[in-house]
Amino acid sequence: MKTALLFGASGLVGKHLLNQLIKDNNYSKIKLFVRSVPEIDDLKIEVVKTDFNKLQNHKEDIKGDDCFFCIGTTKKNSPDKNEYRRVEFEVPKQVAQIAKSNSVNSFFFVSSGYADSKSSGDYLKFKGEVEEELKRLDFSKLGIMRPSFLLGDRKEKRVGEKIGIFIFKLLSPLLLGPLKKMRPIHSETVAKAMIRAANENLEKNIFESNEIDELTK
């Protein structure tokens, strides 16, 4: 039985990951790395109250088998450019580097469709840069999930994203061939795909939105 490391358990994908990991018999322990202690009670869970500005202080905690990283932010929540970069790039990079130094075998990361380190937009650029760092670290098993619009119950309202999701849901039947990866996908499906990727030997390590969906069928 394995130990899962989970970063971002309160987010859209992370909350589904936590629920699924609790039910999954492949895992006997789930380490939750959080800023504030959640109201959840399960024998599998070990809560690690984390200072994300001083991740090296948690080096001894970031030990286990499969690391799932789902932390992300928005420009609205992190208007300071340096803080935005820290959350979207520095934190996942540091977590991955520490995990690798501790011989964590597997790393699974929620990226984004069209992630590209050469993108002019910060969001896609930082996601692309994290992807490159993960490849460089050469984990025994790596899963990079590139969802399109994520469906699910968000804590905060994102009007622009809601409009985009509505439009793309209407257009989904028309998104064929290379455009399939633009189809919206439910956050629960992404979580399910991450766990499957962690427990099966798959031939690839980057999954576009439509491939994430196919992975769970």
Catalytic annotation present for 123: yes
Candidate list 15, 127, 181, 192, residue with the active-site label: 127
Q: Angle at CA 23, nearest 5°, toward 18 and 28?
A: 85
Report the C-alpha gap between 152 and 186 in whole angstroms: 6
Q: Taking the CA of residue 91 as centre, how many other CA atoms within 13 Å lie in the half-sphere pointing to its CB?
A: 21
Report the C-alpha gap between 133 and 168 in whole angstroms: 31
Candidate list 44, 63, 114, 123, residue with the active-site label: 123
Q: How many helices (H) and strands (E) does the chain have?
A: 7, 9
Report the C-alpha gap between 206 and 203 in whole angstroms: 10
Q: Angle at CA 24, nearest 5°, toward 10 and 55?
A: 40
**What are the C-alpha distances in Å from 170 to residues 48, 152, 174?**
42, 17, 9
Query: Could you give the residue numbers annotated as active site?
Result: 123, 127
